[in-house]
Amino acid sequence: MYPILKEDLEKQESILQQTYEDALAFLAKRSEQKVEPGFPGAPASALPAEGLGAEKVQDFFRKHYLPWVPASSGSRYFGYVIGGVTPAALAGDWYTSLIDQNAFGQPGSLDRQIEQEALQFVRDLLGLPGSFQGAFVSGATTSAFVALTCARQWAAAQKGHSASEEGLYGLPRPDIASGLTHGANYKAASMAGFGRNIHALPLLPGREAVDIQALKDYLASRDQSRPLIYIANIGTANSGDIDDLNAIAELKERYGFWLHADGAFGGLMACVPEWQDRFRLLSSADSLTMDTHKWLNVPYDGAIVLTRHLHEQYQSFSNELTPGPLASENTVHHHLTPEGSRRLRALPAWFTMLAYGKAGYADICRRNVAMCRLYGEMIKNSDCFRLLNEVRSNVVAFTLNLSPEKITEDLIKEILGEVQKAGITYSNYVPYLNKPALRVCITNWMTEEADVIAAYRSMEESARQVISRRF
Ligand SMILES: Cc1ncc(COP(=O)(O)O)c(C=O)c1O
């Protein structure tokens, strides 16, 4: 054995002990340190001829990298859609690396049992029947890719073809339509060979949800012989708006399109009893995406793809030279995703769902939405800002209380620069209905009122500073 590797084997306990101590120190400081400390850079490392050994690498990492980690898993990080890490999810993630299983999903294996149970927990949370099968993948983009690839197989079958056997060349392209859908779905459409042309339907006035009347008109007027893939949005990234899923599902009954529900973050809202009516017909969807690294607060990376079309999924992603005719409940998971070898991503999700259950997740969702409403109220009561959206989920979109010509992308980004310098919170610029806006998204299991108040104050102070400097 290479001598340094042999030494590390002997020192494994102290290497892990140091990692554990670093973890505790990191978690203890997570809420105090600057949310976005900025990375000053580190001395360039070159691959050494002889290795340094794990302890020296730990020292190097601890000195030059660890202090500069943004607290994106902390309670005041309100940028993008970034979930935190629950204690149980972190433990599950450590076990995932410890046991280092290649999650093929062979019947009778431990990894299959964990993944199947975790998928059942997701179905239970979202109120979905067992006809929704699927697998864990790396993120919502990959999940959408799987879903659209299944839809591709379905669309080709309508014309008597198999896209997975023949390819797409020579096949008529199905239509793809949506309201305001995430860039990930354009990317997925491109990867699935459709090209990025997703027909964007009109939105409700002042909102990011699709106008159902416009969808009805579109469905009635289009060439019915072309298969249609429709993407419904459960939580738009700019304002967390949610399409009227029940109305869309009813239209699916009439027009027979493939319905994909992008619930990358908003899908989890279906676990809250008092919100479930909005998701009554979610079970009519053909496929569904939900990230685990967003609202489920599982560490990166992870998502689920659920479809009611296991056969199409198997045909598209089978690793076999000649896929068998039909998928069965014993089909191994690695015949269902773009990956071959795969991390047991289901394990941290299994841990956290089992640890906190339906009530725990309903509490996280309710609390995060309540915190967004609180932020929204502070915006409404301020002479500095104007609220842009009705807070329907965990996103607040707002702008400055200035005349429209003064509100530029540049100005908003300057304010966000000040917010980052202060280091108390992190928020994003978004183009909300094509106008420059600020945005806060609360997805972290730890966020409480004091975090929201501190974050809002920092935002207001930064805005006032920049406005007085500029005007
Ligand atoms: C609605 C929606 N769909 C898809 C995605 C892409 O997710 P991922 O980055 O996990 O691939 C996001 C990311 O924020 C999202 O908000």
Same domain, 45 and 107: no
> What is the phi/psi pair of residue 318, to 5°?
-60, 140
Predicted confidence (pLDDT) at residue 193 exceeds the cutoff of 90: yes
* C-alpha of residue 338 to centroid of ligand 1, in Å: 18
Residues 230, 299, single domain; the answer is yes
92 CB within 6 A, ligand 1: no
Q: Which domain holds residue 158?
A: 89-353
Confidence label for 322 from pLDDT (cuts 50, 70 and 90) = confident
Gap between the Cα atoms of 119 and 117, Å rounded = 5
Report the nearest atom of ligand 1 relative to the CA of 294.
10
- The DSSP code for 174 is P
* pLDDT > 90? residue 30: no
In a domain, 316, yes or no: yes
Domain stop point among 334, 353, 372: 353
Encode pLDDT of 433-444 as tens digits: 999 999 999 999
Range 8-18 average pLDDT? 98
Residue 228 has pLDDT above 80, yes or no: yes
Whole-number Å distance, alpha carbon 140 to ligand 1 midpoint, is 5
Element (H, E) at 200: strand 199-200
41 is a domain residue: yes
Closest residue (by CA) to atom 7 of ligand 1? 140
Is-contact 401 385, C-beta < 8 A?
A: yes
> Predicted confidence band at 409 (pLDDT cuts at 50, 70, 90)?
very high
pTM above 0.75?
Answer: yes
Determine the average pLDDT of the residues in 127-146: 97
pLDDT in tens, 229-241: 999 999 999 999 9
Q: What integer is the mean pLDDT of 120-124?
A: 98
Choice among 27-36, 84-93, 104-113, 207-216 with the minimum mean pLDDT: 27-36
Indicate whether 323 pLDDT > 90: no
For residue 334, is pLDDT > 90? no
Q: What angle do CA 335, 258, 319 make, to 5 degrees?
A: 10
What pLDDT sits at residue 53?
Answer: 98
Among 281, 343, 280, which Cα is nearest to 135's?
A: 343
Tokens 């079309």 locate to: 309
Query: From the CB of 235, is ligand 1 less than 6 Å away?
Result: yes
Considering the chain, what percentage of its residues have pLDDT values greater than 90?
Answer: 96
Give the integer Cα–Cα distance in Å for 270 and 370. 16
| Residue 247 domain-assigned (yes or no) | yes
Is residue 406 in a domain?
A: no
Which stretch of 28-42, 62-76, 128-142, 217-231 has the lowest confidence by average pLDDT? 28-42
Task: Say if residue 470's pLDDT is above 80.
Answer: yes
Residues 166 and 278 in one domain: yes
Q: How confident is the model at residue 329 (pLDDT cuts 50, 70, 90)?
A: confident
DSSP letter for 77, please. B
Q: Residues 166, 195: one domain?
A: yes
251 within some domain:
yes
Average pLDDT of span 380-391: 97
Of residues 124 and 30, the one with the higher pLDDT is: 124
> Which of 242, 291, 293, 295 has most ligand 1 atoms within 8 Å of its beta carbon, as the pocket-test mutant?
291
Same domain as 148, residue 50: no
Q: Who has greater pLDDT, 72 or 326?
A: 72
- Asked if residue 148 and residue 9 are part of one domain, the reply reads no
Minimum mean pLDDT among 26-30, 60-64, 297-301, 459-463: which range? 26-30
Instruction: Calculate the dihedral angle through the C-alpha atoms of 85, 91, 97, 102, rounding to the nearest 10 degrees.
Output: -90
Amino acid 225: pLDDT? 95
In a domain, 322, yes or no: yes
Of 331 and 119, the one with more pLDDT: 119
pLDDT band at 120 (very low <50, low <70, confident <90, very high): very high
Statement to judge: residues 48 and 113 lie in one domain = no
Give the three-class secondary structure for 314: helix
Number of domains in the chain: 2
Question: What is the per-residue pLDDT for 445?
Answer: 98
Same domain as 255, residue 307: yes
What is the model's pLDDT at position 324? 79
Among 249, 290, 256, CA closest to 147: 290
Instruction: Check: CB of residue 60 under 8 Å from CB of residue 103.
Output: no
